[in-house]
């Protein structure tokens, strides 16, 4: 199949995660399910796994759109406008280093407090970067052609006469031509706005043909082997349980007192 895809210049859509979950502990999950496409840009498609079923296969759902699919960006505590000097200053003021760590519960408590300090410092040092809402203003001429097309289609569906069919085809072709002209003008204006000085010329091709990174599955190391962690929530829960298992391990050795120097 790889040879056919390369020879015909096809593309593929994949989640990068396994879709086959074998019950045999000696086998590793594989991403067997994917879509082979032709003439569909990856920016116009969104593919997500579905873990609702309990079979050994996880189906994948692809959504094809006529416009660019807007994906929700990953939530981050910082951005390009983060003031790192302010971030360091807040940590110096709020971080408590002269703390007596008596037992493992106290260590867990102070660790969580330090994490909160780091998160709050990042939020205070980072200004809000609200994305601008873009509106698509459709010209009046195109709105008028859409209304004429719908009216002509309704007439043809009622009468099925050659004249009504001809009128519908003419209106439909005229609308397609105007839409194509509008897209060309919009694309021309977009390309003209790209500049080399502010590096905006590289943004359209930044993620072009970017390979999908395969995500390694994890499972509980027990006898018999535990179930596979399929979704991100299951992986997070499993890794959290492992961290708690090792971080909450009690010890008989004395705990040092760290003082600020």
Q: In angstroms, rounded to a whole number, what is the distance separating the alpha carbons of residues 193 and 111?
A: 48
Confidence class of residue 261 from pLDDT cuts 50, 70 and 90?
very low
DSSP run (H or E) holding 218: strand 218-219
Q: What is the pLDDT of residues 185-194, one digit of tens each?
A: 888 888 888 8
Q: Which of 19, 13, 14 is nearest to 58 (CA)?
A: 19
Q: What is the pLDDT of residues 17-46, one digit of tens each?
A: 888 888 776 778 888 888 888 887 777 788
Confidence class of residue 168 from pLDDT cuts 50, 70 and 90?
very high
The whole-number pLDDT of residue 150 equals 92
Q: In angstroms, rounded to a whole number, what is the distance separating the alpha carbons of residues 230 and 237?
A: 11
5, β-bridge pairs: none
Average confidence (pLDDT) over 54-62: 78
End-to-end Cα distance, the chain: 64
Residue corresponding to tokens 């120097």: 261
pLDDT at position 257 over 60: no
Average confidence (pLDDT) over 222-228: 71
Q: What is the mean pLDDT of the chain?
A: 79
Angle between helix 84-94 and helix 104-125 axes, rounded to 10 deg: 150
**Model confidence, pTM:** 0.36
Which is more confident, 156 or 39? 156
Average confidence (pLDDT) over 207-230: 69
User: What percent of the chain lies above the pLDDT cut of 70?
Assistant: 80
Tell me whether residue 193 is exposed, middle or buried, using C-beta atoms within 10 angstroms of its C-beta: 0 to 12, 13 to 18, 19 or more. exposed
Residue 127 has a CB neighbour count (10 Å cut-off) of 10
Q: In angstroms, rounded to a whole number, what is the distance separating the alpha carbons of residues 230 and 49?
A: 10
Residue 241 has a CB neighbour count (10 Å cut-off) of 10
Ranked by mean pLDDT, the top range of 58-62, 169-173, 233-237, 247-251 is 169-173
pLDDT at position 174 over 90: yes
Q: What is the pLDDT of residues 141-153, one digit of tens each?
A: 888 899 999 999 9
Q: In angstroms, rounded to a whole number, what is the distance separating the alpha carbons of residues 166 and 172?
A: 10
* CA-CA-CA-CA dihedral for 130, 134, 209, 58, to nearest 10: 80
Average confidence (pLDDT) over 107-122: 89
Q: Report DSSP letters for 68-128, one per residue.
A: ---PPPPP-S--TT--HHHHHHHHHHH---SB---SHHHHHHHHHHHHHHHHHHHHHHS--
Which is more confident, 69 or 218? 218
Find the angle CA(109)-CA(114)-CA(118) to the nearest 5 degrees. 150
């Amino acid at each position: 199949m790889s040879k056919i895809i390369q020879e015909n210049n096809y593309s593929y859509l994949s989640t990068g995660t396994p879709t086959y979950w074998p019950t045999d502990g000696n086998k590793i999950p594989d991403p067997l399910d994917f879509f082979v496409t032709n003439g569909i840009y990856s920016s116009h498609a969104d593919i997500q796994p579905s873990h609702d079923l309990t079979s050994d296969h996880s189906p994948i759902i692809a959504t094809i759109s006529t416009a660019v699919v807007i994906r929700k960006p990953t939530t981050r505590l910082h951005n390009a406008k983060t003031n790192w000097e302010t971030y360091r200053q807040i940590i110096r003021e709020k971080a408590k280093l002269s703390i007596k760590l008596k037992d493992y519960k106290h260590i867990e408590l102070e660790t969580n407090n330090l994490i909160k300090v780091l998160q709050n410092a990042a939020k205070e040092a980072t200004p809000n970067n609200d994305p601008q809402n873009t509106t698509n203003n459709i010209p009046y001429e195109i709105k008028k052609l859409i209304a004429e097309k719908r009216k002509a289609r309704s007439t043809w569906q009622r009468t099925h006469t050659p004249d009504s069919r001809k009128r519908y085809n003419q209106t439909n072709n005229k609308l397609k031509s105007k839409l194509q002209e509008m897209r060309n003008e919009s694309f021309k204006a977009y390309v003209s706005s790209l500049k080399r000085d502010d590096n905006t010329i590289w943004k359209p091709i930044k993620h072009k043909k970017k390979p999908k990174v395969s995500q390694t599955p994890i499972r509980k190391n027990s006898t018999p082997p535990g179930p596979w962690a399929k979704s991100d929530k299951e992986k997070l829960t499993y890794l959290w349980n492992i961290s708690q298992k090792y971080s909450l391990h009690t010890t008989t050795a004395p705990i040092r007192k760290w003082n600020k120097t």
